[in-house]
Structure 1
Amino acid sequence: MTDSLPLPAGTWPTLEPGWVWLCGAGPGDPGLLTLHAINGLRQADVVIYDALVQKAILDWAPQAEHIYAGKRGGKPSAKQRDISLRLVDLAREGKKVLRLKGGDPFVFGRGGEEAQTLIQHGVPVRIIPGISAGIGGLAYAGIPVTHRDVNQSVTFVTGHDQTGETPSSLNWKAIAEGAQVLVIYMGMKHVERIANALLDAGRPADEPCAVVCSATTPDQQVLETTLGRMAADIEGSNLEPPAILCVGRSVLMRQVLDWQALMQGARPRNLDPLGRGRPAENA
């Protein structure tokens, strides 16, 4: 596999001994890796990877030692301090280290903490961004996070903080009033609390919502619902994390943009889900 898809000709960076490349693996589909990520995977002596990194992505680094450092809510997980210091130790051993994180390492991925630790300990780093699930995962579900008829802004929030609870620092009233489209990472555990906070702050109960689980993978599942029904519909489903929640009228666009269903021969459910009354090209 690693020889069947050569990198294009060009000057590609070298992963030197004693360096750590902090790399985003994207939301799941191996095809969403960046070329810099593949370049790093091919050179690494050690790949330290998170829970959501697919095995097919690790297959790009058959020469490397693979070390699991996944963190999943409610399950035994490595402590963040131990992960960060393990990266320091491996670099000081002269290893070429690739730290592989799901999505983008700087989007709710603790990448900033790990990079800061490395730099504070004198370890050189390179940052390789990845496609965040809040964008790529929703795109695979046929949901654009921005659409000119719906929103000129999008708000990303996390559904829990370091304590495992919904973040106490978030002003849900301000978010409800200001977020045209709201994308919530890691929100399934506290979905009822989050939905109620948005409803109490004035968001309409019939506002379109979507829950996208295992986004971009063969196990992807999508639930279309409303803000008032979202918690109950999740409770009555077989959906499991990891999940992205999306709140806003852009969810309606899935009725016409569910491209994976179209590939299987389905017809669009609604060619004009926003009720524009004119062709899309007449913006």
Structure 2
Amino acid sequence: MTSATPQNSDNAPPARGTGMLYLVGAGPGDPGLITLRGFRCLQRADLVLYDYLVNPALLRYATKAEKIALGHHSVSRCMSQDEINAIIRRAVREGKVVVRLKSGDPSVFGKSADEAVLLRREGIPIEIVPGITAGFAVAAFAGIPLTHAECASAVALVAGQQSTTHEVRPLDYRVLAQFPGTLVVYMGVRSAETWSRALIEAGRAPTTPVAVIHRCSWPTQSIVRTTLAEVAERIRAEKIRPPAVVVIGEAVAHMPDAATLPRRPLFGRTILVTRPAHQN
């Protein structure tokens, strides 16, 4: 039997000349939702590699770091995993503290395993810093009780698109259709017609309540309430694009009306703040 010693959130940074990689969860969007540990990692960083889904406001915490954007599928070329690993490997071996900043939680559909396994084999020291995943953030920001004593005793996080580069066992929609709780679908906007039809054909009621939450916790957050039978059409009609999570189940019926959700004073507004160039 082995035991692991919990890491102190006030750990000192690596000794000078000793490189380190932190896989940090940035949370769902609101920069105030990053963990204290994640914030401290950014302060220590010499290099930050960040995804396009990460709120750029978080980069201001990394005051002394070089920042590298990893690309956007619809705007620019995305770096391959091999390219990312090469940058990390070189920087850590140079004694730098590297933060790989990922939207949500790096261990929830964040491909952290792909990065961590290979780099650990090469002797790269790694710490994974959890973040708030969007599937759980919707409980607060959309008012959806993911579990409910009357109708949802469990929660399942489901990939709307499965990996095409790994041999992955296909989702069993018969099991998901009978799941005694709430389904939260990630990466499911473009495949909504496929998974919604599969759930219905497997026995899930077409009238099952569904909520689509676009850009959870961002100022531009939007919520569409619908049913399992109509979700694909509503996504098309509302022109919803990623990032979005879809919540499926009777618990959705218990969410409040949008008008009753708490709102911050500037929620949904775009604010321009000017300042001298040297302060950027």
TM-score category of the 2 structures, normalised to the smaller one: 0.7 to 0.9
Structure 2's unaligned 5+ residue stretches are: 1-7, 266-280
Which residue in the other structure is 1:19 paired with?
A: 20
Report matched runs for 1:64-103 at 5 Å: 64-70=65-71, 72=73, 76-103=77-104
Is residue 9–residue 37 contact of structure 2 (8 Å, CA) maintained in 1? no
Deviations 1:40-89 (A, max 9, x none): 11110001111111111111112111111246479632212222232122
CA apart distance, 1:179:
4.7
Which residue in the other structure is 2:185 paired with?
A: 184
Q: Label 1:231 to 1:62 Cα distance change in 2 as closer, same or farther (>3 A).
A: same
Q: Which amino acid aligns with 1:139?
A: A
Report matched runs for 1:247-266 at 5 Å: 247-255=248-256, 260-261=261-262
Q: Which amino acid aligns with 2:228?
A: L
CA apart distance, 1:240:
1.5
Deviations 1:117-173 (A, max 9, x none): 221110111111001111013421111211212211111111112339xx7611111
Count of aligned pairs between the two proteins: 253
Is residue 142–residue 258 contact of structure 1 (8 Å, CA) maintained in 2? no
Q: Distance in 1 between matches of 2:235 and 2:264?
A: 27
CA apart distance, 1:27:
0.5
Which residue in the other structure is 1:208 paired with?
A: 209
Is residue 146–residue 152 contact of structure 1 (8 Å, CA) maintained in 2? yes
CA apart distance, 1:35:
0.4
Q: Label 1:152 to 1:73 Cα distance change in 2 as closer, same or farther (>3 A).
A: farther
Is residue 27–residue 137 contact of structure 1 (8 Å, CA) maintained in 2? no
Q: Label 1:41 to 1:234 Cα distance change in 2 as closer, same or farther (>3 A).
A: same
**Range that drifts further, 234-243 or 65-74:** 65-74
Q: Distance in 1 between matches of 2:264 and 2:55?
A: 23
- Normalising by structure 2, what TM-score? 0.84
Report matched runs for 1:19-168 at 5 Å: 19-70=20-71, 72=73, 76-163=77-164
Q: CA RMSD in A?
A: 2.2
Deviations 1:218-269 (A, max 9, x none): 11111000000101111111322101011001111222687635668xxxxx
**Range that drifts further, 86-95 or 180-189:** 86-95
Is residue 147–residue 181 contact of structure 2 (8 Å, CA) maintained in 1? no
Q: Which amino acid aligns with 1:137?
A: V
Secondary structure (helix, strand or coil) at the match of 1:189 reads coil
Secondary structure (helix, strand or coil) at the match of 2:54 reads coil
Is residue 189–residue 240 contact of structure 2 (8 Å, CA) maintained in 1? no
Q: Which amino acid aligns with 2:255?
A: R
Q: Distance in 2 between matches of 1:258 and 1:99?
A: 37
Is residue 21–residue 97 contact of structure 1 (8 Å, CA) maintained in 2? yes
Is residue 212–residue 222 contact of structure 1 (8 Å, CA) maintained in 2? yes
Q: Determine what percentage of the aligned residue pairs are the same residue.
A: 37
Secondary structure (helix, strand or coil) at the match of 1:67 reads strand
Is residue 144–residue 251 contact of structure 2 (8 Å, CA) maintained in 1? yes
Secondary structure (helix, strand or coil) at the match of 1:178 reads coil
Q: Distance in 1 between matches of 2:197 and 2:89?
A: 43
Which residue in the other structure is 2:268 paired with?
A: none
Q: Label 1:207 to 1:162 Cα distance change in 2 as closer, same or farther (>3 A).
A: same
Q: Which amino acid aligns with 2:77?
A: P
Q: Which amino acid aligns with 2:50?
A: Y
Deviations 1:169-207 (A, max 9, x none): 111111111252100000001000010000000111111
Q: Distance in 2 between matches of 1:220 and 1:232?
A: 20
Q: Distance in 1 between matches of 2:40 and 2:263?
A: 33
Q: Which amino acid aligns with 2:229?
A: G
Structure 1's unaligned 5+ residue stretches are: 1-9, 265-283
Is residue 153–residue 180 contact of structure 2 (8 Å, CA) maintained in 1? no
Q: Distance in 2 between matches of 1:74 and 1:42?
A: 29
